[in-house]
Amino acid sequence: MILSTRRMFTKMALLFPFALSTIGPAGATDAANWDDVLTDARGETVYFNAWGGSANINAYIQWAGDEVKARYGITVVQVKLDDTAKAVSTVLAEKSAGRDAHGSVDLIWINGENFAAMKRQGLLFSADWATKLPNWGLVDIENQPTVTTDFTIPTEGLESPWGAARLVFFYDEARTAKKDLPDSSKELLSFAKAHPGRFSYPQPPDFTGSSFLKQILTELIVDRETLQKPVDDATFDQGAAPLFAYLDQLHPLLWRKGKAFPQNYPEMKQKLADGELDIIFAFNPAEASAGIAAGELPDTVRSFVFSKGTLGNTHFVGIPYNANAKAGALVLANFLLSPEAQVRKQDPKIWGDPTVLAVGKLPEKDRAAFATLDLGVATLPPEKLGPALAEPHPDWMTRIEAEWIKRYGAAN
């Protein structure tokens, strides 16, 4: 019996996996040839490496996996991470070992410093795939410039936007008066002095904790423009000095006097619910509403931001250069950009993660779905989020995390 072309390639790949690393059905990994992508993706298993620290996010990923399974015959397995850098290290180790095909990571939830590292080391699928996805035309390129720039680094189609993010603070109005809330990093230090032990932040390199450090740095640095460029020793020492002077004052005023830190945002959330902390924060405007809807926070929790701005960015999914299921990863990435997936993700009862789509570009039915979405009692409307502060160049975060651990990590 004559083998089909697809079965023949499968058998050849088993015999000569590395020799055939760039061979496959025509257009099977070119998003411009979408019918070929869908054909090749059927039957594949996509190992989606994503942060696994939130039950509602894990449930959303499970839903997305179930949908692409039913529609496209693709199996999605979430590899739950506590640090995205672990997936990057896996791909780097495979490259060092010459494993340039059939890699163990197919899709990564990624942004910022990890994207910069993977791009610099040639660890990403480099076929300008993101801008060829069928749903790319719905992305809000005009009003969300961070969908094409990740922490100052041009994405160049190497990753696909998945959701928007803003740093937002939360408090319980049953315990803390709105008039007492800080409106800047300097006022936050004053709040901590007036309420010792009632504030803290996750220890870096936790993403939320590192984001807090970037917020403080962005507010306090003398020349904010230097944050948009790679950093050298002299620039770092001078630019970061106000941050560490601030932290030296803040740490003795923190929960447990800065001798221990919450592990991540879910732990901070629990401490707000238990009354141990008065102010917490997350990189999602709807986190408080989502926590209320899930019964994790009291319904008296509310949100606030600093009037002069908080950090804003976009988070992405990327495909490693040696992914085993590139076609399946393309289909999953495209589904995550669909109006159906985006409106479900923005629902605070599901996740509450803001969309990267231009709602005005959508069909009337999808526009209506976004328009009628209840963002929740604790979610600030977009017009009240204030200015979005630009993320620093990834070099800054790498240096800040290392210096933080050097200065404060040994005590924990």
* pLDDT reported for residue 410: 57
Assigned token pair, 261:
């830190």
Question: Can you tell me the distance from the alpha carbon of 114 to that of 94, in angstroms, rounded to the nearest whole number?
Answer: 16
Q: Provide the 8-state DSSP code for 143.
A: T
The beta strands (E) that lie in 299-339 are given as 301-304, 310-318
CATH number attached to the domain at 25-163+313-377: 3.40.190.10
DSSP-H helix ranges across 25-77: 34-41, 55-72
* pLDDT reported for residue 13: 35
CB atoms near residue 17 (< 10 Å): 14
DSSP structure string for 207-249: HHHHHHHHHHHHHH-S-GGGGGS---HHHHHHHHHHHHHHHHH
Please, what is the Cα angle at 213 between 208 and 218, to 5 degrees? 120
* pLDDT reported for residue 99: 97
Among residues 205, 129, 237, the alpha carbon closest in space to that of 404 is found at 205
What one-letter code names the amino acid at 341? A
* pLDDT reported for residue 144: 84
pLDDT in tens for each of the 412 residues of the chain? 333 333 333 333 333 333 333 333 334 589 999 999 999 999 999 999 999 988 989 999 999 999 999 999 999 999 999 889 999 999 999 999 999 999 999 999 997 889 999 999 999 998 799 999 999 999 998 888 889 989 889 999 999 999 998 999 999 999 999 999 999 999 999 999 999 999 999 999 998 999 999 999 999 999 999 999 999 999 999 999 999 999 999 999 999 999 999 999 999 999 999 999 999 999 989 999 989 988 999 999 999 999 999 998 899 999 999 999 999 999 999 999 999 999 999 998 898 889 999 999 999 999 999 999 999 999 998 778 888 888 899 899 999 999 999 999 854 5
* pLDDT reported for residue 10: 35
Domain boundaries, the chain: 25-163+313-377, 168-312+386-411
Grouping H, G, I as helix, E, B as strand and the rest as coil, residue 236 is helix
What one-letter code names the amino acid at 280? I
DSSP-H helix ranges across 264-393: 265-273, 287-293, 326-336, 339-346, 364-371
Assigned token pair, 235:
């620039």
Question: Can you tell me the distance from the alpha carbon of 298 to that of 220, in angstroms, rounded to the nearest whole number?
Answer: 33
* pLDDT reported for residue 25: 39
End-to-end Cα, the chain, rounded Å:
66
What one-letter code names the amino acid at 112? G
Question: Can you tell me the distance from the alpha carbon of 187 to that of 409, in angstroms, rounded to the nearest whole number?
Answer: 25
Are 281 and 209 spatial neighbours (Cβ–Cβ below 8 Å)? Answer: no
How far does CA 392 lie from the centroid of its chain?
A: 15
**Do strands 168-172 and 310-318 pair parallel, antiparallel, or not at all (unpaired)?**
unpaired
Question: Can you tell me the distance from the alpha carbon of 178 to that of 266, in angstroms, rounded to the nearest whole number?
Answer: 23
Positive or negative, the Cα torsion across 136, 30, 99, 118? negative
Residue with tokens 């989020």: 385
* pLDDT reported for residue 155: 94
**Domains 25-163+313-377 and 168-312+386-411 agree in fold:** yes
pTM: 0.76
Homologous superfamily of 168-312+386-411: Periplasmic binding protein-like II (3.40.190.10)
